[in-house]
């Protein structure tokens, strides 16, 4: 299946190159802002120093990488933009309106040395305690990344790792921020859905809560069948509702994708630690 966005293979004109240079500057600035926001989000009631301490070597490593990048190497970033207002439940056929904080507007992957920073931006602040009548009787809300090596070569697994029993899903690394309705809490995890191996990762919200970042040490991406090289892979992002009410009914429904999925095959963003890419951005 061909999923490579045409834009990514287009040869940039001179103007585009200049534009890119300008963007790189902005991206460096954004990287710093992003880190500050992430730290703020992680810290909230603790100091920046305590936040670094709390999340240990990974985040500290990222801080060093970020500060180093300002002076030396450019942070490489992949950005996918998505329209606001296109999140729907049940194809929009009479389903409840999807809250704006489940409407994806941007997905960004930034190299942070030994780690990779994943940031999803949505169309409204993610509430401290997200509530949506579609899932208030039980279940989970997900802000998700699906990481694969290549859209042209996706394997599939039929399993219960994603709590979508009986469904066939792409074999991938799943990076998810999960709001659990019953537990009334957030958690962030990296899941290998071929082995159901799950690892908690550091996460934080931006100060306006429109963005959530998750930090994944490259050393966690050890399944070389899924991703041969953590410095280069393809991805898509999703918001998902997993319903699990008291009657025992379960269903997993995708509300929004970035890149938007149209027709057959997967349209994926491309990440590489050696180049900047954008897709679908104005
Ligand atoms: Ca959207």
Distance 119 CA to ligand 1 centre (A): 15
Look at 167 and 110; give whichever has higher pLDDT.
Answer: 110
pLDDT class of 265 with cuts at 50, 70, 90:
confident
Compute, in angstroms, the gap from residue 49 CA to the centroid of ligand 1: 35
Residue 254 pairs with which residues in a beta bridge? 240
- Ligand 1 centroid from CA 170, angstroms: 22
With cut-offs at 50, 70 and 90, classify the pLDDT of residue 38: low
In which residue are the tokens 């190497």 written?
Answer: 73
pLDDT tens digit sequence for 196-228: 999 999 999 999 999 999 999 999 999 999 999
| Residue 209 Cα to chain centre, angstroms | 15
Tell me, what's the pLDDT at 142? 96
Q: What SS3 state is found at 231?
A: coil
**Is residue 83 scored above 80 in pLDDT?**
yes
**Can you list the domains of the chain with their CATH numbers?**
9-279 (2.60.40)
CA of 133 to the centre of ligand 1 (A): 20
Which two structure tokens, joined as six digits, stand for 164? 């979508």
Are 259 and 271 spatial neighbours (Cβ–Cβ below 8 Å)?
Answer: no
Share of the chain above pLDDT 70, in %: 69
Q: Which residue has better confidence, 151 or 66?
A: 151
119-149 burial, b at 16+ Cβ within 10 Å, e below that, comes to bbbbbeebeeebebebbeebbbbbbbbbbbb
Summarize the confidence of residues 159-164 as an average pLDDT.
Answer: 71
> Could you tell me the distance, in angstroms and rounded to a whole number, from the CA of residue 260 to the centre of ligand 1?
8
Residue 264 has a pLDDT of 77
CA of 88 to the centre of ligand 1 (A): 9
Ligand 1 centroid – CA 122 distance (Å): 8
pLDDT higher than 60, residue 20: no
Confidence at residue 138, expressed as pLDDT on a 0 to 100 scale: 85
Residue with the bigger pLDDT between 30 and 119: it is 119
Evaluate if residue 68 carries a pLDDT over 60.
no
Q: How far is the CA of 183 from the centre of ligand 1 (A)?
A: 27
Closest CA to 145 of 115, 184, 106, 181: 106
pLDDT of residue 165: 66
Return the pLDDT at 13. Answer: 37
Cα–ligand 1 centroid distance for 85 (angstroms): 6
Give the contacts of 61 (CB within 8 A, at least 6 positions apart).
112, 113, 114, 115, 217
On the question of pLDDT at 30 being above 60, the answer is: no
Between the CA of 181 and the centroid of ligand 1 the distance, in Å, is 23
DSSP classification of residue 228 = S
* End-to-end CA, the chain: 26
- Distance from Cα 32 to the centre of ligand 1, integer Å: 25
Query: pLDDT tens across 100-148, in order?
Result: 999 999 999 999 999 999 999 999 999 999 999 888 888 899 999 999 9
Of the pLDDT bands very low, low, confident and very high (cuts 50, 70, 90), residue 247 is low
Helix runs in the chain, H state only: 6-9, 14-43, 48-71
Residue 169 CA, ligand 1 centroid: distance in Å: 22
Q: How far is ligand 1, taken at its centre, from the CA of residue 121, in Å?
A: 10
pLDDT for residue 72 is more than 50: no
Q: CA Rg, the chain, in Å?
A: 18
Q: How far is the CA of 105 from the centre of ligand 1 (A)?
A: 5
- pLDDT value at 10 more than 50: no
269 CA to centre of ligand 1 in angstroms: 15
As a whole number, the mean pLDDT across the chain is 79
Q: What is the Cα–Cα distance from 81 to 108, expressed in whole angstroms?
A: 9
Question: Who surrounds ion ligand 1 at CB < 5 A?
Answer: 82, 86, 103-104, 256
pTM to 2 decimal places = 0.75
- Say how many Å lie between the CA of residue 258 and the centre of ligand 1: 7
């Amino acid at each position: 299946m061909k999923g490579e966005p045409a834009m990514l293979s287009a040869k940039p004109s001179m103007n585009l190159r200049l534009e890119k240079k300008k963007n790189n500057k902005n991206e460096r600035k954004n990287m710093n802002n992003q880190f500050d926001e992430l730290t703020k989000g992680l810290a909230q009631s603790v100091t920046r120093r305590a936040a670094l301490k709390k999340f240990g070597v990974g985040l500290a490593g990222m801080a060093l990488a970020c500060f180093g990048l300002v002076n030396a190497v450019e942070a490489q970033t992949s950005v996918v933009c998505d329209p606001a207002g296109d999140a729907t439940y049940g194809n929009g056929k009479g389903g409840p309106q999807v809250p704006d904080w489940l409407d994806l507007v941007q997905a960004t992957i930034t190299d942070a040395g030994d780690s990779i920073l994943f940031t999803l931006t949505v169309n409204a602040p993610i509430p401290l305690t997200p509530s949506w009548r579609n899932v208030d009787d039980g279940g989970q809300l997900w802000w998700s990344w699906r990481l694969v090596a290549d859209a042209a070569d996706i394997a599939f697994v039929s399993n219960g790792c994603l709590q979508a029993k009986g469904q066939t899903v792409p074999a991938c690394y799943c990076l998810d921020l999960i709001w659990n309705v019953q537990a009334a809490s957030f958690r962030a995890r990296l899941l290998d859905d071929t082995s159901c191996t799950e690892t908690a990762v550091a996460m934080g919200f931006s100060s306006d809560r429109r963005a959530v970042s998750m930090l994944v040490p490259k050393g966690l991406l050890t399944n070389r069948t899924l991703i041969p090289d953590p410095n280069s892979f393809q991805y898509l992002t999703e918001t998902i509702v997993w319903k699990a009410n008291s009657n025992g009914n379960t269903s997993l429904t995708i509300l929004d994708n970035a890149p938007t999925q149209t027709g057959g095959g997967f349209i994926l963003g491309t990440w590489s630690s050696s180049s900047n890419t954008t897709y679908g951005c104005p």
